[in-house]
Homo-oligomer: A and B are copies of this chain.
């Protein structure tokens, strides 16, 4: 079972994870990751732009690669796009598996690829206006671990 979605509105990671866990109570292991807009650093808002013809198909491809690579019973990837405020969730990923390292590694793999290989452009609003964000070099290094 694979559930890959984009949303333009806010969502509750706890609710999403609760639904996912109930759907996978027969799996021994469930791992998850939630990314939130970090408050502080003068950031007033965050905006994620996507390109519809590429972004969701690209996320599906990343999810399929995770399912090929690890033995999973289920995989969830939900990503918000548009403008969001500090403290609001951006992304939630969850994986269910018979064994814990499959679940944990699938989440790790998904996040590294969503961060650096998915079609999102991010900019932060500060007091002096909007600033585009580039991937950090550590993101590229994290991605290269899977090659």
Q: Which residues of A contact B (CB under 8 A)?
A: 13-14, 17-18, 21, 25-40, 87, 98, 100-101, 103-104, 107-108, 111, 115, 142
On whether the beta carbons of B21 and A30 are closer than 8 Å, the reply is: no
Q: Which residues of B contact A26 (CB under 8 A)?
A: 38-40, 87
Q: Which residues of B contact A38 (CB under 8 A)?
A: 26-28, 98
Q: Which residue of B lies closest to A12 (CB)?
A: B18
Q: Which residues of B contact A104 (CB under 8 A)?
A: 33, 104, 107-108, 111
On whether the beta carbons of A31 and B29 are closer than 8 Å, the reply is: no
Q: Which residue of B lies closest to A14 (CB)?
A: B18
Q: Which residues of B contact A18 (CB under 8 A)?
A: 14, 18
Q: List 28 A-B contacts (CB under 8 A).
A: A13-B21, A13-B30, A14-B14, A17-B17, A17-B32, A25-B36, A25-B87, A26-B38, A26-B39, A26-B87, A27-B36, A28-B35, A28-B36, A28-B38, A29-B35, A29-B36, A30-B34, A31-B32, A31-B34, A31-B107, A32-B32, A32-B33, A33-B100, A33-B103, A35-B100, A38-B98, A100-B111, A104-B111
For the complex formed, measure the closest distance between the CB of A33 and the CB atoms of chain B, giving whole angstroms. Answer: 5
For the complex formed, measure the closest distance between the CB of A115 and the CB atoms of chain B, giving whole angstroms. Answer: 8
Q: How far is the CA of A111 from the CA of B34 in the complex (A)?
A: 18
A-B pairs, top 9 by smallest CB distance, nearest first, are A28-B38, A14-B18, A30-B34, A25-B87, A32-B32, A31-B33, A104-B108, A26-B39, A100-B111
